[in-house]
Amino acid sequence: MPQGNDLNDVAIIDENTMVAVGVSGLILKTTDSGINWLIKESGIADDLDELQFIDNYTGWVIGGGKLYKLSEIAIAIKEVVDNADIELGPGYSEVLLKQTVIRGPGDITRAKNELGYRPKYSLKKGIKEYANWLKKQKY
């Protein structure tokens, strides 16, 4: 693979064509059975969790579908990680809020209805598994 990011899902479209998605908005595509991979621009920085094609030309790339506040993430970490010491600052100033484009999550309603997609991880479950992984890595 021509990158160092983790992959979350791969779809085999035909004997030559595959598409893969991963962390930080990564999308990869091959049309020569995996010999060469092209990085496709997704335009987002969020992780892409799953990929589903219903034919050679129609597919969905799906993330978690929920936008969390930093305070919600901090609370979830404190509930899962013993002795987590998290202190949040005041956040964006009014000036920065006016200058910053804040993107929300993609709407996953269509994927739920047409594909039966359901996110595999809640915020708390994801944090817990990541914390356990970090412990095993001795971080």
| Distance (Å, whole) CA 28 – CA 31 | 10
Residue found by looking up tokens 């094609």 in the block: 53
User: What are the tokens at 107?
Assistant: 């709407």
d(CA 110, CA 72): 26
Q: Domain coordinates of the chain in residue numbers?
A: 1-63, 65-108+119-139
Distances in Å between the alpha carbon of 61 and those of 42, 76, 101? 10, 26, 22
- pLDDT tens across 57-105, in order? 777 777 766 666 677 777 888 888 878 888 777 665 666 556 655 555 5
pTM: 0.49
Note the pLDDT tens digit of each residue in 2-25. 556 688 888 888 888 888 888 888
What is the tens place of the pLDDT at every residue in 49-59?
Answer: 888 777 777 77
Q: Please check whether residue 63 is in contact with residue 46, taking contact to mean a CB–CB distance below 8 angstroms.
A: yes
Q: Record the tokens describing residue 80, joined without a space.
A: 């899962």
